[in-house]
Amino acid sequence: MTQTDLQGEAALAPPARTRIKLPDTRLLIGATGVGLIVLLALLAPLLAPYDPNAQHLAARLRPPSPQYPLGTDHLGRDLLSRLLYGLRPSLLSGLAAVMLAGVFGTAIGVVAGYFRGVPDALIGRVLDLLIAWPAIFIALALVLLLGPGPTGIVIAIGLAELPVFARVARAVTLANTGLLHVEAAVSIGASTPRIMLRHILPFAIPPLIVQFAIAAPQAVIAEASLSFLGLGTQPPDPSLGAMVSNALLYLSRSIYGALVPIATIAVLILCLTLLADGLQETLDPKRRMRRG
């Protein structure tokens, strides 16, 4: 893709106003899907027909039936109820991890980009150290320190996602510190934190929202995988990953215990990814043009 190509396309494209008329289809589908899933998780106490941890030992590994709409697991627990409640740790841990990465990553990135020089180089080196490892190592180290459970894996996933946020925030800050409005703010004696918050951060918001949307499905996958390994949500409480690992041993007798959470994870990830793609398309004009 050359520079002239870009200009040519831009010249041919209709004026910007008409282009943002309708939200991207992927954005609509993704947002609706994610919204519905969040709603299901929120309404779990109302929708779940049973206590998710209640064992019906006479009805183990049942296929779907009117009594148990999605079947039961190896302890006779209702899969629909466990699914609804199991969505909560996946969504909550995923959200918490991305928030953690977003807030701290942005702060670090803005500081690095604003001060440049030594702080920038130092921060860069530390972030390099963080991404030199497969994320699973960080997760294992935290599980060893804090014991298995949501706290450790939220921090681990957050740390794994943090460098990208820092990089985005740093790039935007670098691009804006030299601009006239920042210079004006400095000259009238605005404090550094105020300049960062009021004059630089607003420019970083759109790319950070996109990054947030990209990180979300990754965080949900990571949470589900760590719970599958037994490092996240602890039994008997349900989580999507742990439901699959429980069902794995009983696959020859019933596949529903595995199929139900897997299908849910797949739909959730798909919706989150569509949402991210749609947001990226809507908020990043350069990308919209490139696709054209």
Partner 1 sequence: MLNYCLSRLGQLILMLFLASVVIFAVIQNTPGDPALIRLGTEATPEQVEMERVRLGLHRTLPERYAIWLGDAARLDFGKSFSTGLPVSETIADAFAQTLKLASLAALIGLVFGTALGITAALNRGRWLDNTIAALTAVAFSLPSFALGTLLVIVFAVTLRWLPPSGLGNSSNTALDTLRFLIMPAVTLAMPFIVVLARYVRTSLIEALQQDYVTTARAKGLSRRTIVITHALRNALIPTVTIAGLQIGNLLAGATVTETVFSYPGLGRLIIEAVTSLDYPLVQGALLFTATVFLLCTFLVDLAYGLIDPRIRTAGG
Q: How far is the CB of 229 from partner 1 (least distance, A)?
A: 5
Tokens 């995923």: give the residue: 94
Location of structure tokens 């990953």: 241
What letter does residue 96 receive in the DSSP assignment?
H
**Member of 65, 121, 137, 194 binding partner 1 (CB under 8 A):** 137
Q: Which amino acid is at 274?
A: L
Three-class SS state of 255: coil
**Mask for 201-240, x = binds partner 1 (CB under 8 A):** ----------------x---x--xx--xxxx---------
Backbone angles phi, psi at 70, to 5 degrees: -115, 10
72 strand-pairing partners: 78
| 102-131 residues near partner 1, rule: CB under 8 A | 129
CA distance 47 to 257: 19
Distance between CA atoms of residues 86 and 243, nearest Å: 8
Q: Which positions from 139 to 178 touch partner 1 by CB under 8 A, shown as an x/- string?
A: -xx-xxx-xx------------------------------
**Is residue 70 at the binding interface for partner 1, with CB under 8 A as the rule?**
no
Q: Interhelix angle for 79-115 vs 240-248, to 10°?
A: 130
Q: Given the structure tokens 């002239």, which residue do they identify?
A: 4
Binder to partner 1 among 29, 171, 209, 259 (CB under 8 A)?
259
Does residue 61 bind partner 1 (CB under 8 A)?
A: no
Return the DSSP state at 232.
Answer: S
Q: Which is nearer to partner 1, 56 or 288 (CB)?
A: 288
252 binds partner 1 (CB under 8 A): yes
Q: Which residues in this chain contact partner 1 in the complex, by CB under 8 A?
A: 129, 132-134, 136-137, 140-141, 143-145, 147-148, 217, 221, 224-225, 228-231, 241, 244-245, 247-248, 251-252, 255, 258-259, 262, 265-266, 269-270, 273
